[in-house]
Amino acid sequence: MPVVLIVDDDADTRVALADLLEDAGYDVLCAANGREALVRLSVSGVHCDLILLDLLMPVMNGWDFRQRQRATPEIANIPVLLMSAGAHLAVVRDELKADGSMTKPVDELDLLKLVKRHSREPN
């Protein structure tokens, strides 16, 4: 079953996205910021097929997380979809070399389409 890591500082957003993705057949991991996400990804045996990444978070934001992810060979190739309410999301997506992006609030159907496109299909 594909595993999606949701990285967002808003607990309500994490829960809503996790419920949606689990109902669609995905396994879900969550992290409240970039540093926590890096720790989750470094745990031996943890596999991740896709990362949904918020940009504006305390402790470690999406830009810093993406920089560290891309510099870490073991996790560098995990696809990343950015999530933000920011107006210049397409520019940031290109700057961070992300695989896709969506504006917040996230449209559920668009999210499921993007997740399906960038991860293995659920059983």
pLDDT in tens, 38-76: 999 988 678 899 999 999 999 999 999 999 999 999 999
* pLDDT for the residue numbered 43: 82
Would the pLDDT of 88 be above 90? no
pLDDT score for 123:
47
Just give the CATH number of 3-116: 3.40.50.2300
Burial state string for 32-58 with b = 16 or more CB within 10 A and e = fewer than 16: bbbbbbbeebeeeeeebbbbbbbbebe
Banded model confidence at residue 119, pLDDT cuts 50, 70, 90:
confident
> Are 13 and 108 spatial neighbours (Cβ–Cβ below 8 Å)?
no
Average pLDDT, the chain: 92
pTM of the model: 0.93
Cβ atoms < 10 Å from Cβ of 5: 22
Phi, psi of 27 (to 5 degrees): -85, 145
Which residue(s) pair with 28 in the sheet? 4
Work out the average pLDDT over 77-89. 88
pLDDT band at 120 (very low <50, low <70, confident <90, very high): low
